């Protein structure tokens, strides 16, 4: 059950920060946090990550519904059949982030973004807490897969070493 609580916390933090940004800042307003490197800014995104596929609201809504259903199904399966703890936690972060951006798109047709990083003259695409949860969740899924692959390789190696020739 704590995996769903983690997803709800990620969702609530995302929605809370987006609400604060939307209510307190004018669109395009910037607040420096660490000089020109890290700024809080009010931005809107009608596309996917990095603004790709703009104005495809219904496509994203449908894809997100399918992804959310798949994540919930897989979380239930993994939770019941595995002692692995990292994978369900990672899926929880992805779930909370996906639902956070889904709600924005469904209600407003756009996502509130506000975390801006500049690297010299390059500005990384502005993002939000939901995006961060999704990225961290996917990174943890990859890490869990690597751990699982390593464990499987070790188990296969020990089985081969114990075979009688």
Catalytic residues: 113, 131
Contacts 24+ apart (CB under 8 A), 146-152: 147/86, 148/84
| Cα–Cα nearest to 109, from 65, 46, 27 | 46
Assess contact for 99 and 68: CB atoms under 8 A. Answer: yes
DSSP strand pairing (122-127 vs 30-34): unpaired
Residue bearing tokens 């690297």: 119
Contact between 27 and 44 (Cβ < 8 Å)? yes
């Amino acid at each position: 059950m704590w995996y769903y609580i983690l997803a709800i916390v990620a969702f609530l933090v995302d929605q809370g920060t987006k609400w604060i940004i939307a209510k307190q800042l004018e669109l395009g307003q910037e607040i420096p946090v660490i000089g020109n490197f890290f700024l809080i800014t009010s931005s809107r995104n009608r596309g996917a990550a990095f603004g790709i596929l703009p104005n495809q609201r219904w496509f994203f809504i449908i894809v997100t519904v399918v992804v959310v259903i798949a994540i919930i199904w897989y979380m239930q399966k993994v939770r019941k059949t595995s002692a692995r703890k990292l994978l369900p936690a990672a899926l929880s972060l992805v779930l909370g982030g996906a639902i956070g951006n889904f709600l924005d798109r469904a209600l407003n047709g756009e996502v509130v973004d506000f975390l801006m990083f500049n690297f010299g003259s390059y500005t990384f695409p502005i993002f939000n807490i939901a995006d961060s949860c999704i990225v961290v969740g996917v990174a943890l899924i990859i890490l869990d897969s690597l751990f699982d692959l390593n464990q499987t390789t070790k188990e296969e190696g020990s089985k081969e070493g114990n075979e009688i020739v």
